[in-house]
């Protein structure tokens, strides 16, 4: 299951992690966000223990969203060593995200 990243735990869970983190910025009211949700869940299961995959609800966690300049959702950031190594804006097929994960692990 995908992790829940928040303003409170983002620093510890993502920035300080030694693993690649895949962070899906989303909101309940966003259709494309709901469409990509199951893909994020599948990837979380497949990469469990190897990659941290989670979601940030932009309506509930405005600080992280503002810090990363999130203006369009879904926005998926690939963060490793505290730095953004890749990103994807908009809903895309699973294989696109899978390739980005493989490239950045």
CA dist., res. 60 & res. 81, Å (int): 25
CA dist., res. 51 & res. 59, Å (int): 25
Using omega within 30 degrees of 0 as the cis cutoff, is the peptide bond preceding 91 cis? no
Q: What CATH number is attached to the domain comprising 76? A: 3.40.30.10
User: What is the structure's pLDDT at 8?
Assistant: 97
pTM of the model: 0.96
Q: Which one from 30, 44, 75, 79 is the annotated catalytic residue?
A: 30
What does DSSP say about strands 83-89 and 3-4: parallel, antiparallel, or unpaired?
Answer: unpaired
Has 33 been annotated as catalytic? yes
44-71 tens-digit pLDDT: 999 999 999 999 999 999 999 999 999 9
Query: What's the rounded mean pLDDT across residues 22-45?
Result: 97
Q: Where are the alpha helices (DSSP H) in 12-93?
A: 31-46, 62-67
Domain count for the chain: 1
Has 63 been annotated as catalytic? no
Range of the domain at 24: 3-104
Q: How confident is the model at residue 35 (pLDDT cuts 50, 70, 90)?
A: very high
Q: Which one from 2, 33, 53, 58 is the annotated catalytic residue?
A: 33
Query: What's the rounded mean pLDDT across residues 26-53?
Result: 97
């Amino acid at each position: 299951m995908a992790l829940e990243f928040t303003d409170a735990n983002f620093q510890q869970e993502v920035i300080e992690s030694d693993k690649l983190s895949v962070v899906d910025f989303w909101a309940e009211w966003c259709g494309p966000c709901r469409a990509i949700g199951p893909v994020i869940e599948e990837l979380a299961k497949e990469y469990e223990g190897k990659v941290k995959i989670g979601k940030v609800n932009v309506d509930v966690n405005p600080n992280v969203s503002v810090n990363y300049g999130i203006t369009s959702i879904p926005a998926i950031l690939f963060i490793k060593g505290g730095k953004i190594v890749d990103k994807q804006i908009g809903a895309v097929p699973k294989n696109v995200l899978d390739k980005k994960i493989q490239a950045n692990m």
